[in-house]
Structure 1
Amino acid sequence: MLVNKKTLFQAFAILASALSAKAQEASAPDDSAVVKLTSETFEDFIKENPVVLAEFFAPWCGHCKTLAPHYVEAAAALESEDIALAQIDCTVEQDLCMKQGIRGYPSLKLFKNHDLENPKDYAGGRTANAIITYMKKQILPTVQVVDSQKDLEAILTKATQPVIFSNGDAALNETFFSIADKFSEEYTFVSFPGSKVKLAVQLPSEAEAIEYNGDITEVEKNPEILESWLKVEALPYFGEITGESFGSYVESDVPLAYFFYTDDDEFEEYTEFFTDLAKEHRGKINFVGLDSRKFGKHAENLNMDEQFPLFAIHNMSSNLKYGLPQLAKEEFEKLTEAVKLETKDISKLVNEFLSGKSEAIIKSEEVPEVQESNVIKIVGKSHDGIAYDEEKDVLVKYYAPWCGHCKRLAPIYEELADILASDEDSKDKFVIAEVDSTLNDIQDVEIEGFPTIVLYPAGKNTEPVVFSSQRELTNFITFLEENAGNKVDFQIIHDSYKSALEAQKVADDLDEVEEDEDFEHDEL
């Protein structure tokens, strides 16, 4: 099944955009640990400090204002670590910002080892903890080697992200270091030679480490085994999901279960239950909490109404959504007391989902009783029945009403449908259709952007072909000639259609002339 992960990230953009502390001025206070740099002081400062994170900002920038309190807090925490955080006001220091290739605000660049020529774009999150974690790692080796359990525990105690540690096993060492190079931003890697534990991950919030129980020699042969294991086991059992951590959940390729809570007390009340549930079903479902006060709109992306608290599961590989039954909107609005989710109902849905017995919530318009044009309107309920008709070539346009490209394509697409409908032979062999992807869930279709146009060829409709040429009539005709299962002479059909149009135009012109002549000779 193909589901575009871009659309998953886009659907979750509300989390990233809403994630912020109370905004202040974009510029850090003068008494903070953030250093204000100018064109005159910039180079000397980089030469004097081994690790510098520089924020290039504009005072009017909303994102800069949102970042500001986090940046100030991180600077204070890192000051004693010999890690400097600086700011450059690009509305004042225009030449410096231009020299650094700044194209948007805020832009954060990492300067290491006094190197002015090769800064790196900051790759961490934009919260204080994320900045602190990221910058502390910049002064550490990719893999920290420790000599004792005490040293390992010291690292584990201070860790703000998962710690992956190994015992330096020769069969694993090369792979361990290569994985560390690849994922050093996400995890902390530690080698403890002599440890009885060959490979394990320690989550910051958990007392016990999670050991790798597979064959270490197989990991050496195929590092992807270790990568896949980390993507699942390094995630919290249960915790708050954010715009920054969402990507990790997507990459784990495990269905994601959301608990939308209404306040902090409710979150705490259910934490132990969801943690135990997550441990029981580790690797099969990930469980996260989501603050409905900030991110309630995300319920719509799960085909659920904004009735909180709420529990829903999103199978991201199939893009199917499942949730506990909800009240009719009118009934919910009449409630005088808060709804309480029963843990037995949550457990039941989880078990039914895992056993394949739960029914997905499919978003769909109603099937139209009458088609209003030669472009057939498809909805979620009717998509598969139309698209997978083995005897017909079905061209489907997946669009969004707000999409400018879709609007420009509309008359061309209509004309293509009219051409094929004008021929007695081809009108029974070809379907030109469209579906509003914002109102209908369609499975097994990878939507890269709008419009996405896919041909389901007659006789082999399980092998769809994506249209990728310029969206002109002639290109559509050529595409159908090359890929359609039914073979017709498109050129003859097109020429016949044009001739019929011209003949109709002549007839219409003659009618107008006759009407004019009748009017001119009309006498009382």
Structure 2
Amino acid sequence: MQFLSKLNLKTLSTLLACVSLTQAAGSEQDAIASPDSAVVKLTSKTFSKFLSENPLVLAEFFAPWCGHCKALGPQYSEAADALVDRNIKLAQIDCTEESELCQEHGIRGYPTLKVFRGEENQSDYEGPRQAEGIVQYMVKQSLPAVSLIEDSAELASFIDSSLTPVVVETGSNLNATFYQLSESNREEYSFVQTKDSEFASKYGDEKILLFTKEFPEPIVYSGEDESAEAIAEWLKVESLPYFGELDGSTYQKYTSANIPLAYLFYNTPEEKEAWRESITKLAQEHRGKINFVGLDASKFGRHAENLNMDQEFPLFVIHDGVSNKKYGYPQDTELTTEAVEEFVKRYDAGEIEPIVKTEEIPEVQENAVYKIVGKTHDAIINDDTRDVLVKYYAPWCGHCKRLAPVYEELAEVYQSNSKASKKVRVANVDATLNDVDVEIQGYPTLILYPAGDKSNPIVHQGGRDLQSLADFIKEKGTHGVDIDALEEDNEVEAEADEPITEDEQVDAEEEAKIQIEQEDEAAGHDEL
């Protein structure tokens, strides 16, 4: 991703928003597929129809200025040409031209690649970015997602050798649901359908079973909701161990479960093992409500700061990723198994207050860009009289640094006009120092909170030059403030505020003196 990444898993110390800061060289044309290639350019008018007519599509959501898009461009075109004979289509959507379409699909960084099987069935592309790797990945996607195995011995061997959890359907009552489930989750699990009588007699007929390395026996789905969505959520929870290890290979699995994650930062493997029994017990009691993991402090200790904790280990903290709230066990108190059990119990009862990270509220706003901190964030964005544009940034972010002077100029345009300053506010917040209840997955993220419609914030997807940002505020904001019109207003205001000369000052004083004398004379006549 150019400015957005779920995380850079190789450097887990900055788990929440590690991004590449290197801008690749090359012209914008490098990112755009050649008209001679098999890549299809899609727009909001052609998108749905194209997906309905093609069973398997890889779509790249990109921006021409994006360095990583430029690097991917030639590889993407080469892969598209190689896949023509297999009827696998590769497409591009330019998010600088199709911002609404990109927003509909949750695009927050470039390039974002998604695999589509029709418009509703989509998944993130998680393969290589070289032509050969793209081809191999998409060919695999075209193969059946479900393996049909009728022999129990062959099935047992398949389960033992699988590198991913295995989901087995016995019988065929849930056939359509099972195939829908497999198409959407083929990267995380292996799917098998069997009608083998021996296997069914052992585990039950017309069942969905989950086999993992963690547990000796399969877990049987017993939910009343037999939809693919419900079973998928069940798999996210049950496929994880009770007390797993958090690292680059597992982080995505835990975050996609969408339930709070409890961390035990440990110093040594021996220390982790000493905690295993008590943490496993807690995990069993809170299965489906809280996931529990160990994190090696010698490798990823800096992540404690992301959770509003000091780098003093061992430590225990619960992170609710949905609300981005952190609940840490007090570090000035001894960490014991009994204390952690009580802490989790109180957390589950809603008795623990989150740790909120915030800078101090500025006494004076020193720049045109309004500085927001954790304590003031909600109040500022919910100002119902203004369209509020907020830049969420990190001090170390290269793209944020390049945007800063343009953003300051943008703020000055609105602030310098008395009318516009009451309708538009341009603000920013250092997301590394302030907790905000906003999903920030990369830097910079620009979000507009329209006046009178604060429940529908709009993420900026276009260019980052002054005119593009101003057009975004004009088109998406409630007030529709036009900076071109502001320039004319500012000229009028400047003329009205122009300082008078010394001679003009003398003349004005003389006129005022005469006016006072006339008023005094009139007042005297009134007394008669």
TM tier, smaller: 0.5 to 0.7
Of 373, 379, 383, the match for 1:385: 379
Describe the SS at the equivalent of 1:201. Answer: strand
Aligned-residue CA RMSD in angstroms?
3.9
| Cα distance between partner residues in 2 of 1:417 and 1:369 | 19
Q: Structure 1 residue 212: deviation in Å? A: 0.9
Task: Name the structure 2 match of 1:14.
Answer: 11
Q: Structure 1 residue 184: deviation in Å? A: 4.9
Task: Name the structure 1 match of 2:149.
Answer: 145
Describe the SS at the equivalent of 1:381. Answer: coil
Of 237, 248, 251, the match for 2:253: 248
| Cα distance between partner residues in 1 of 2:179 and 2:481 | 59
One-letter amino acid matched to 2:413: I
- Contact in 2 for aligned 1:278/1:287 (Cα 8 Å): yes
Alignment of 1:247-266 (within 5 A): 247-266=252-271
Alignment of 1:3-402 (within 5 A): 7-10=5-8, 12-15=9-12, 119-120=136-137, 142-143=146-147, 145=149, 147-148=151-152, 161-167=164-170, 169-177=171-179, 179-180=181-182, 183-190=185-192, 191=194, 192-193=196-197, 194-195=200-201, 196-197=203-204, 198-215=207-224, 219=226, 222-327=227-332, 341-402=335-396
Asked if 1:464 corresponds to 2:457, the answer is yes
- Contact in 1 for aligned 2:265/2:316 (Cα 8 Å): yes
Q: Percent identity?
A: 43
Task: Count the aligned residue pairs.
Answer: 378
For structure 1, the 5+ residue unaligned runs are: 19-103, 111-116, 124-137, 328-338, 508-524
| Cα distance between partner residues in 2 of 1:241 and 1:407 | 32
Q: Deviations over 1:322-381 (max 9, x none)?
A: 211123xxxxxxxxxxx8522232223323333333222222211111111222111111
| Cα distance between partner residues in 2 of 1:189 and 1:354 | 35
- Contact in 2 for aligned 1:160/1:204 (Cα 8 Å): no
Q: Structure 1 residue 236: deviation in Å? A: 1.1
> What's the TM-score once normalised by structure 2's chain length?
0.62
| Cα distance between partner residues in 1 of 2:167 and 2:472 | 51
- Contact in 1 for aligned 2:13/2:303 (Cα 8 Å): no
| Cα distance between partner residues in 2 of 1:304 and 1:425 | 44
Q: Deviations over 1:422-473 (max 9, x none)?
A: 33333334322111122222212x4354332222222222222333443333
1:272/1:208 CA distance change after superposition, 3 Å: farther
Alignment of 1:485-504 (within 5 A): 485-486=478-479, 490-497=483-490
One-letter amino acid matched to 2:370: I
One-letter amino acid matched to 1:359: E
| Cα distance between partner residues in 2 of 1:497 and 1:437 | 33
Describe the SS at the equivalent of 1:458. Answer: coil
- Contact in 1 for aligned 2:385/2:422 (Cα 8 Å): no
Q: Structure 1 residue 506: deviation in Å? A: 12
Alignment of 1:428-443 (within 5 A): 428-443=422-437
| Cα distance between partner residues in 1 of 2:223 and 2:373 | 46
One-letter amino acid matched to 2:253: S
Describe the SS at the equivalent of 2:399. Answer: helix
One-letter amino acid matched to 2:324: N
More deviation, 427-436/253-262: 427-436
Q: Deviations over 1:56-82 (max 9, x none)?
A: xxxxxxxxxxxxxxxxxxxxxxxxxxx
Q: Deviations over 1:134-161 (max 9, x none)?
A: xxxx9x995363545x776666666664
Describe the SS at the equivalent of 2:365. Answer: coil
Q: Deviations over 1:151-189 (max 9, x none)?
A: 76666666664333332x221234435544654553344
One-letter amino acid matched to 2:7: F
| Cα distance between partner residues in 2 of 1:484 and 1:173 | 48
One-letter amino acid matched to 1:226: I
Describe the SS at the equivalent of 2:174. Answer: helix
| Cα distance between partner residues in 2 of 1:376 and 1:120 | 46
One-letter amino acid matched to 2:427: A
Task: Name the structure 1 match of 2:84.
Answer: none
Q: Deviations over 1:209-236 (max 9, x none)?
A: 3211124xx53xx322222221111111
- Contact in 1 for aligned 2:14/2:302 (Cα 8 Å): no
| Cα distance between partner residues in 2 of 1:457 and 1:182 | 35
- Contact in 2 for aligned 1:16/1:242 (Cα 8 Å): no
For structure 2, the 5+ residue unaligned runs are: 16-126, 501-528
